[in-house]
Copies of this chain bind each other. A is one copy, B any other.
Amino acid sequence: MTFPKISQSYTDPHRYPEGVAFLDAQYLKMRDAKVSVLDWGFLHSDATYDTVHVWDGAFFRLDLHLNRFFEGLAKLRMTIPFDRDEVTEILKNCVALSGHRKAYVEMICTRGGSPSFSRDPREATNRFMAFAVPYASVANADQMKRGLDVAISDVQRIPPKSVDPSIKNYHWLDLVRGLYDAYDKGAETALILDTNGNIAEGPGFNVFVVSEGALITPDFGVLPGITRRTVFDLCDRLDIGVSVGAVSTDALTGADEVFVTSTAGGIMPVRSVDAVQIGSGEPGPVTTQIKELYWKMHYHPEWTTPVAYPEGI
């Protein structure tokens, strides 16, 4: 009987996007940023994270993302050896070293592990990591222009009694199932339901409905998204009414305009839901107005944190 040999080191055959990561006090090329398969952040998805973007060399609303990340850590009883200023410094370094002027930046804390592989989370050493890769969007350029085709899946978003949605987390199997349901219907992305049968959210985004000039967005069981929060702030500046509450599937398909919001893409119009055309079938005036101010605010000092880049990068 012959046995295979144990390799002296791992050769990774996969290709990764260009970027820089921070892990265990080291800055690394994206392809070198790896976690042990034994980390409970992987084996139990026992982790929280936040994603912030950089646009033309400046973070957008970094403070809000840091707030949510540190609140998530406390709720999961995780600790990291860095304070807000130090995390900011790490994120800035990842972006600066990557050279990306438009970046998708993620900070993560996993439960980590212990050398004994103990199942007691109190015995694990929590692990902080971060990375910067090129800016990503839920909607591609064409979809941004014409609006997304969305389908509603009857999958229920994991309810708050199971997992606190204010802790930004990686429990996505409901959302992934929703995505495949949407693909099966010929749509491009999905919205899934809350436990009352109303619309909750989609894979990585919140949803807004525009009816008679005012906005409403679901509140129960959804991630309190920073872009969602930003829409509230933009509506305040634009004097557009916005409220939170139950959004039925009928309210969605009968809306004048629908858009979804995410750090990955910002304000993204929806042109159809379950093959029903929304409004005129073109991105509507309210969506467009909010989207324009959203991007304009990326140059406002109050909402941005500039990154200094090394010379020549």
Contact = CB atoms under 8 A, between A and B. Distances in A.
A191 to B, nearest CB: 14
Interface residues of A, number: 89
A180 interface: yes
Given A17-B38, A23-B10, A173-B167, A203 B119 contact: yes
A24 B6 contact: no
A115 B27 contact: no
A27 B45 contact: no
A162 interface: yes
Contact of A37 (B37, B108, B134): B108
Contacts of A76: 173, 176
A141 interface: no
A21 interface: yes
A157 B125 CA distance: 26
Interface in A269-303: none
Contacts of A41: 42
A138 to B, nearest CB: 7
A73 to B, nearest CB: 13
A169 interface: yes
Contacts of A158: 158, 162-163, 171
Contact of A162 (B13, B17, B104, B162): B162
Interface string A102-115: 00100010010101
10 contacts: A1-B308, A3-B310, A6-B97, A12-B36, A14-B113, A34-B36, A38-B133, A42-B42, A158-B162, A163-B177
